[in-house]
Structure 1
Amino acid sequence: MDVKNALLNGDLLEEVYMQPLPGSTYPPHKVCKLQRALYGLKKASQAWFAKFRSTIHDCGFTSSSYDTVLFVRKTARGTTLLLLYVDDMIITSDDVDGILLLKQFLSHHFEIKDLGPLSYFLGLEISHDSTSSFLSQAKYTSDLLARAGLTDCKIPSSPLETQSRLSPLDGSLLSNATLYCQLVGNIVYLIVTHSDIAYAVHIVSQYMSAPRTPHYNALFRILRYLKGTLFHRLHYSAHSSLQLCAFSDADWVGDPTNHRSTTGFCFFLGNSIISWRNKKQSLTAYSSTEAEHHALADTTQELLWLH
């Protein structure tokens, strides 16, 4: 679903004035008092979200305690979820009639457009068959490779060289770090569907303040690896069990600078991976056993939250 001119729906709770637009017939010493929010106004997004939240609450929805832009409604007929991102929203439910009633309710309050079944959202490509859903970022990755000039390149077998240990002092500083920072920021979003690059991205993202040639080469190795996995997708089966399963691991003294270890974990709901992370530990472990204990503690914390 898409809300047309979403920010114009916001109600201003404070007095806001603006100068008349050039070419208007207002006297030069007069100003305009805004009755509604406008695009470009600092509080326009806040006013729009407040308006939408109060409206959707009138339809029986409540805000999720885990994410303020996720709204939930539970009835005897089923559960309906609505996820909002600025003017775009995703609606899903096991109550088909409830979805239709919700669309009618929203159309009475806002000018909306029904975009049909979910297929593309914020760079994520979603496809379905009778029993499964698939999630990928092929177009996003392809555009990123074209921007980096890697449409025709050799494909490595892994996103990071074996036993690679980057440090802040290796090689020479890049004359212009802008491209490095932009590309790292882009591939961070790719972790949403590529758990296999999470550790490598965790490494290269540590050197954005002063990237050097080895860091740049490692970054481009990740991009070349992505070219070989361009059409890999996450698979979510409708017949998967609801058993939550976790895997945890840690290296020991993986960072050559401060000798910190890195925690890595992933969670499966049945056969479908739903969460993963690679993060440097906050304390220095004095043994591999201690590093593993820190990793298990972080994994248990995530497990309890997911449960």
Structure 2
Amino acid sequence: MDDMLITGDDRVGIQTLKEFRSTQFEMKNLWTVSYFLGFEVFKSSMGYYLSQTKYASDLLSHAGIINSKTIDTPLETNIKLCPNDGELLSDPTQYRQLVGSLVYLTITPPDISYVVHLVSQFMSSLRSTHYVVVLQILHYVKGTIYRGLHFFLSSSLELRSYSDIDWADDPTDHCSTTSYCFFLGDSLISWRRRKQSVVSQSSSESEYCALADTTAELLWLHWLLHDIGVPFSASTPIYCDNKSAVQIAHNDVFHKRMKHIEINYHFV
């Protein structure tokens, strides 16, 4: 078997572990990681660059659009997808395979996270309009195939986060969509886009629910970074562009219409 990826600063301990495992299994040392589970890793004096170029290229080849034109955006402005728009697909296998592959591809290029989240909601009711959007995503991927994540060696260890929502953007159930991302210095380390489970009566309520989700992720990142030896001497800012949600977070007096989000208030 190939030698698994082992990291850390205890070189003696790592070598001892490798020697012990070599006595238990037939292994070989691959040395510096360059390709792992579809990820390409490039190391330079600036830091590490992580991409899925080969994985994306194989996906485009499987979809048969390797020689097709590229587009500048994965989704046209103000497009709303509904479960009953378009004709039913006679064979949904291709759609499901492509969407599943795109979900894995969102690990490195977060710019397609929103639209992949959108098309993945129609896996049980697949129609022609949904498939057209999947093809648009692939044409966009073709033009951005070399994009990835850059982790800077000289970056600071300051953690900051950004939170936002699309209020009642789903035309079917009118639920809002939470979005957040986290930077450690100049490096993007975490992001997510998820539909909220309830319908918010206002954009302020929806923004505040998103702040609660962002706070939960922030606590988890604090625990994770603390476990690997990254200290935090200051609080972590969460940036939100909704003034009402920010005021609610700073005000300990609840108005009658805000009582239903009291749990989220205390959590933040």
In the alignment, what sits opposite 1:215? 130
Q: How does 1:1-307 map to 2 (within 5 A)?
A: 2-3=1-2, 89-307=4-222
SS of equivalent residue, structure 2 residue 23: helix
Deviation at 1:130, TM superposition (A): 2.6
- Quick check: 153-162 or 276-285, which moved more? 153-162
- How much has 1:189 moved relative to structure 2? 0.2
- Which amino acid in the other structure matches residue 14 of structure 2? I
Give the distance between the partners of 2:26 and 2:196, measured in 1 at CA.
48
Query: How much has 1:116 moved relative to structure 2?
Result: 1.4
- Identical positions, percent: 55
Q: Distance in 2 between matches of 1:245 and 1:205?
A: 29
- 1:264-284 residue CA offsets vs partner (Å, 9 max, x unmatched): 111111100011111000110
- Per the TM alignment, residue 161 of structure 1 is displaced from its structure 2 partner at its CA by 1.1
Q: Give the Cα–Cα distance (whole angstroms) in 1 for the partners of residues 64 and 25 of structure 2.
A: 43
Which amino acid in 1 is paired with 2:119? V
1:84-108 deviations in whole A, cap 9, x for unaligned? xxxx621111233332222112112
Q: Tell me what 1:60 maps to.
A: none
Tell me how far apart the structure 2 counterparts of residues 246 and 159 of structure 1 sit (CA, whole Å): 25
Q: How many residues align?
A: 222
Q: Quick one: distance in 2 between partners of 1:287 and 1:155? A: 38
Tell me, in whole angstroms, the C-alpha distance in 2 between the residues paired with 1:89 and 1:246.
32
Greater strand content: 1
CA drift of 1:157 comes to 1.3
By how many angstroms is 1:110 displaced?
1.9
- Which residue identity is paired with 2:101? N
- Aligned pair in 2 of structure 1 residues 105, 130: CA closer, same or farther (>3 Å)? farther
Question: Hey, what's the Cα distance between the residues in 1 that align with 2:9 and 2:73?
Answer: 40
SS in 2 for 1:253: coil
CA distance, structure 1, for counterparts of residue 108 and residue 181 of structure 2:
13
Which whole-Å CA distance do the structure 1 matches of 2:153 and 2:23 have between them? 34
- Larger Rg over CA atoms: 1
Cα separation, 1, equivalents of 2:113 and 2:166: 14
Give me the whole-angstrom Cα distance separating, in 2, the residues matched to 1:156 and 1:303: 35
Write the letter of the residue equivalent to 1:200: V
Letter paired with 1:118: V
Q: CA offset at residue 135 of structure 1?
A: 0.3
Q: Residue 171 of structure 1: CA displacement?
A: 0.9
Question: What is the CA–CA distance in structure 2 between the aligned matches of 1:247 and 1:89, rounded to whole Å?
Answer: 35
Q: For the residues of structure 2 that align with 1:176 and 1:159, how far apart are their CA atoms?
A: 24
Aligned equivalents of 1:98 and 1:272: distance in 2? 29
Length-normalised TM-score, structure 2: 0.80
The structure showing larger relative contact order (alpha-carbon pairs under 8 Å, at least 6 residues apart) is: 2
Distance in structure 1 (CA, Å) of the matches to 2:126 and 2:107: 24
- Specify the alignment match of 2:254 in structure 1: none
Structure 2: distance between partners of 1:123 and 1:162? 31
CA shift for structure 1 position 208: 0.8
Structure 2 residues not aligned, in runs of 5+: 223-268
RMSD, aligned α-carbons? 1.1
Distance 1:261 1:153 in 2: 34
